[in-house]
Chains A and B, each alone.
Chain A
Amino acid sequence: MADYEFREYREGDLPSLLECFNLVFREGNPDHVDRTESEWDYLFRRNPAGQRVWLSLHDGRVVGQYAAMPYRVWMAGAERRFAQIVDSMVHPEHRRGLKRPGLFVQTALPFFDAFGGKDRDWVHYGWPVENAWRIGKTFLKYEVVRTQTVVARAPRADAVAPAEVEAVTRFDQQARWLYDRCAGEWGASTIRDADFLNWRFLDNPFYDYTVLGVRDAEGVLRGYAVYRLTDWNQPRTGVIVDWLVPPGEPEVGELLRDALDARAATDGARMLALFLPEWSPWFDRFQEWGFFVWPTDYYMVGRNFHPRFDMRWLRENWWYQLSDSDLV
């Protein structure tokens, strides 16, 4: 332990951090594209919800990281923070540097002390695959929120994009109005306002997203869907990354559905897919539209730092979408 320093990220760590990151994620991944300083800047400096980066260093060089993407969440009548764990890593030469529980866990434990708590992040979460899940369960107190399903079907080949649906190129204050109309039914949800949505989708340096919106006669946003063609889960999947429509306005949903079908068909997508909590009226509505519910390889897992809001509460009350992840 004496050889390692564990602490929060500081200015000046970035070159070493990126060197370690690119080394680790290049391993066994020929498609890896090295992360740049400006991309890191987007993810960790410009996130409107803040920064969560904890490092382990050896001889002044970064050799491990436990990090998260925080989200501003409306819950129990106030703004809270949740954080999705991302980009956790240990330099290959340091994976045996400590006896069990290893450098990975030793880096993570002070992260929880620093960022988890009733006055800090209320929930840390993620979608680990099996191996990462086993470590998280054994050493980091993660538990299953749900075995993650995906709602999906092939796009309708005959779909025509309705004239009422427009491309949204920038979110403004209307996004928050729309969110507030939806969020009353949810116990917890990431606040979908202009700051978050523009950062998450329209200023994103990694991917191009298509935002489709429906407005009323006065030009007020009534609903939107964010779409991207990916190879996530299955090749050529048209992912509905974010869906925000009041459940009491199915006609808005139908317009967006038709526009998504048309776009996905044009893209040659084999599937349209999204995450939906099973308690949401949209879960059943999408099935009425011919979508099926499929299993995935993911466990949706979390760790709560407020005892009242345990995994069962989260499963039954937390509205999250693929936009709350870094999966797509």
Chain B
Amino acid sequence: MPRPSELPSLNIREYEPGDEHAILETFNRVFSQIDPTFQPRTLEAWRWQFLDNPSGKRIYLALTEEGQVVSQYAGIGQRVLLRGEEALFSQSVDSMTDPAWRLVLQEPGFFVLTATPYGEQFGGGGDGQDTFMWGLPVWSAWRVGKTFLDYEVLRTQLKLATPLDRLRLEQAGGVEVEEVADFPDDVEPVGRARAEAAGAFAVRDRAQLSWRFTERPDCDYSIGIARRAGVAVGYAVYRKGLFDRTEDEGLVCDWVVPPGETGAHQALLAWLRDKAAATGAERLVTVFPDTAPEWHAFQRQGFHAAGTMYFIVGRSWVKRVRMRWLFENWVYTLGDTDLV
């Protein structure tokens, strides 16, 4: 596509129904140019990611008069329990500027022109606004974000990994794992119990979990529910796939076990080991904050920490929620990200 010779009139506004066609046209063109393994995103997958999310969407666009998307700043909504109260976070994803337009504007460029009103509208302490916006940026996005958007590094993210034969499992104490096709209703108290022990934890109600793992059109996940005497006491979600530039990892995509449920912990790890073996994965890999109890518990079972290409950055829009507090108190899993 030829580069425009002069700055045209652009419309910078929130997403409107029907924009997804133009978004995907630009998105698939932009990302296919920079990622040789990129698979074009379908309309179905886009609608799932943004329109169907029970926690909502946030999208700002810069469009030409003809309706072509020049730039996008977007986020996946995330309902959280923050110090026990409902709040909103969002993961910023799919930010892009059409390369043909990048040099038309001097810095800060279209990326910032869409990100700034996005932040003003969706970030803040008001109803429906995000307390915290975060992301896992590529380096070029990080350079812009820190300079113009007040992003800060929350954590340089490590992963936890173990070959299957290094796992040290203990007795599950009468807890058994049932593999299910969708999340049952009694998984919700499990998420609430885990949230009570965390300063911030994403809501894992049935609607959110089903959207994230069973309704996703382009990935299949396995769901294991740990039960003691028939009652759900923990769950895990597994998929074999690409993570941190490594193919065929046995990914612990979600892991929710309330404190003290050691039987569920052991039973779910055994189930994950069996899933990994059955799918041909040589090791299990996952992510937790190093400040979360799961980080230490997984190391005790044989997982080792290792570096990743990822670092979490973000911006808190509410003074009482400091970055350091989030570093220490926000508990997340891979399932909170769009990485798996």
Residues of A within 8 A of B (CB): 130, 137, 143-147, 149, 278-279, 283-284, 287-288, 292-295, 299, 312, 315
Contact = CB atoms under 8 A, between A and B. Distances in A.
30 contacts: A130-B322, A130-B324, A137-B152, A143-B153, A144-B152, A144-B153, A144-B156, A146-B156, A147-B153, A147-B154, A147-B155, A147-B327, A278-B158, A278-B306, A279-B307, A283-B305, A283-B307, A284-B304, A284-B306, A287-B299, A287-B304, A287-B305, A292-B296, A292-B299, A294-B290, A294-B296, A295-B291, A299-B153, A312-B139, A315-B156
Contacts of A130: 322, 324
A104 B306 CA distance: 38
Given A279-B307, A284-B304, A295 B153 contact: no
A279 B305 CA distance: 11
Interface in B292-340: 295-296, 299-300, 304-307, 311, 322, 324, 327
Interface residues of B, number: 22
A293 B156 contact: no
Nearest to A148: B156
Contact of A278 (B155, B291, B300, B307): B307
Contacts of A149: 158, 290, 305
A149 B290 CA distance: 9
Scoring B146, B156, B295, B322 by chain A CB atoms within 10 A of each residue's CB, the highest score goes to: B156
Contacts of A144: 152-153, 156, 311
B61 to A, nearest CB: 29
Given A149-B158, A293-B290, A143 B307 contact: no
A294 B155 CA distance: 13
A297 to B, nearest CB: 9
Nearest to B161: A284
Contacts of B306: 278, 283-284
Contacts of B296: 292, 294
Contacts of A146: 156
B156 A295 contact: no
A293 B155 contact: no
A230 B158 CA distance: 27
A324 B5 CA distance: 52
A137 B306 CA distance: 27
Nearest to B166: A288
Given A137-B152, A287-B305, 12 more contacts: A130-B322, A144-B152, A147-B153, A147-B155, A149-B290, A278-B158, A283-B305, A284-B306, A292-B296, A293-B158, A293-B299, A295-B290
Scoring B152, B158, B296, B305 by chain A CB atoms within 10 A of each residue's CB, the highest score goes to: B305
Contacts of A145: 156
Contacts of A299: 153
A144 to B, nearest CB: 4
A125 B304 CA distance: 28
A144 B152 CA distance: 9
Contacts of A294: 290, 296
Contacts of B153: 143-144, 147, 299
A293 B305 contact: yes
A228 B329 CA distance: 32
Contacts of B311: 144
Nearest to A133: B324
Contacts of B155: 147
A146 B327 CA distance: 13
B146 A147 contact: no
Contacts of A287: 299, 304-305
B154 to A, nearest CB: 8
A283 B161 CA distance: 13
B283 to A, nearest CB: 13
Contacts of A295: 290-291, 295
Contacts of B139: 312
Contacts of A278: 158, 305-307
Nearest to A277: B307
A312 B146 CA distance: 14
Contacts of B304: 284, 287-288
A146 to B, nearest CB: 4
A311 to B, nearest CB: 9
B227 to A, nearest CB: 30
A146 B311 CA distance: 9
Interface in B155-201: 155-156, 158
Nearest to B289: A295
Contacts of B152: 137, 144
The 10 closest A-B pairs by CB, nearest first: A278-B307, A293-B305, A144-B153, A146-B156, A295-B290, A287-B304, A292-B299, A147-B155, A130-B324, A295-B291
Nearest to A287: B304
Contacts of B299: 287, 292-293
Contacts of B291: 295
Contacts of A137: 152
A132 to B, nearest CB: 12
A287 to B, nearest CB: 4
Contacts of A279: 307
A283 B154 CA distance: 22
Interface in B256-305: 290-291, 295-296, 299-300, 304-305
Contacts of B154: 147
Interface string B92-121: 000000000000000000000000000000
Contacts of B322: 130
B289 to A, nearest CB: 8
B8 to A, nearest CB: 33
A18 B306 CA distance: 44
Interface in B32-77: none
A292 B155 CA distance: 18
A233 to B, nearest CB: 14
A146 B158 CA distance: 10
B327 A143 contact: no
Scoring A143, A149, A295 by chain B CB atoms within 10 A of each residue's CB, the highest score goes to: A295
Scoring A279, A288, A292 by chain B CB atoms within 10 A of each residue's CB, the highest score goes to: A292
B325 to A, nearest CB: 10
